[in-house]
Amino acid sequence: AGQWTRLLPLTSVLPKELMPINGKPVIEYILDECIKSGIKEIILIISKRKNIIKKYFYNDVFYKNLIKKNKNDKKLKFEYSKIKKYKKMIKFVYQNSPRGTGDAVLKCKNLIKSKYFLMLMPDDLIINSNCSASLIKLHNRYKSPIIASKKVNKKDVSRWGIYSVKSKINKKNFIIKDVVEKPEIKYAPSNNAVIGRYILPRIIFTKLKKLKKGKDGEIHITDAIKKLIYEGNEFIGHNFVGKYLDCGTMEGYIKSSLKISKIWNFVL
């Protein structure tokens, strides 16, 4: 239910998730990453204000009428079959007030039956390599929760959750000592930023239920992870290889669009 004030003015009417990058809504990049990594069930947490996202996947009448009139339009049929494929996998959950990432995830409690689940933030695009697939692979090996991460500029640490390292597994993977939500530079334990891909254990719901408001008065997933770490649960930080595109700010969104179009032009 994020407000997306960072992407105004368009987001005053259009949810950020439907904003196009190279002609494709941001959300489809995220869905494609999940599907390619083997995920079969997807929950989208939206708000009443963002119901147009659900409509996007439930627009059968629109497509059927168009296809009736344009029976030979392959592109049209392709788009409709793609939307139908997504729709089959997606359930919608509502968080009508923006109370934070932790509160949003808690809304999925009754739908998540498996011991672990993958969580993705739609404003973080990762290209050139499937980050979710890497996280799943790592999880299957270590049986631990995993957080995707990148080193960021020290001066920008207050934009992300930041974690400190307890020990090194290898060049790309670390056991996390502590994590803090968007610290000021002087309190940041490092410049290892949490990027929006996590494999979380279902027991996190027990922490989320009891969690008090944190930074900026919101319930943060970061604070629930911190509690689990303090109780002795092992969390791995994984420095992924793909290119991270931050679509959560206007500058980032524009840069991401340029970057992805460049890749496409190259492919074409």
Residues interacting with ligand G1P, by CB under 6 A?
101, 121, 123-124, 160-161, 181, 193-196, 220, 222, 248
- The answer to whether the Cα torsion of 210, 215, 217, 219 is positive or negative is negative
How far apart are the C-alpha atoms of 9 and 79, rounded to whole Å? 28
Comparing CB distances to ligand G1P, the nearer of 77 and 243 is 243
Comparing CB distances to ligand G1P, the nearer of 83 and 204 is 204
| 147: enclosing H helix or E strand | strand 146-151
Comparing CB distances to ligand G1P, the nearer of 83 and 194 is 194
Minimum CB distance to ligand G1P, residue 191 (Å): 12
DSSP state of 5: G
Comparing CB distances to ligand G1P, the nearer of 201 and 237 is 237
How far apart are the C-alpha atoms of 32 and 41, rounded to whole Å? 12
Residue type, 111: L
Chain centroid to Cα 48, Å, comes to 20
Minimum CB distance to ligand G1P, residue 147 (Å): 9
CB 167 within 8 A of CB 158: no
Strands (E), 66-115: 90-94
Minimum CB distance to ligand G1P, residue 210 (Å): 18
Comparing CB distances to ligand G1P, the nearer of 77 and 259 is 259
The β-bridge partners of 119 are 198
How far apart are the C-alpha atoms of 20 and 137, rounded to whole Å? 30
Minimum CB distance to ligand G1P, residue 58 (Å): 26
And the tokens for 107? 């809304």
Q: Report which residue's Cβ sits closest to ligand G1P.
A: 161
Minimum CB distance to ligand G1P, residue 164 (Å): 14
Minimum CB distance to ligand G1P, residue 82 (Å): 26
How far apart are the C-alpha atoms of 8 and 253, rounded to whole Å? 12
Minimum CB distance to ligand G1P, residue 24 (Å): 20
How far apart are the C-alpha atoms of 161 and 147, rounded to whole Å? 11
Comparing CB distances to ligand G1P, the nearer of 7 and 83 is 7
Comparing CB distances to ligand G1P, the nearer of 53 and 83 is 53
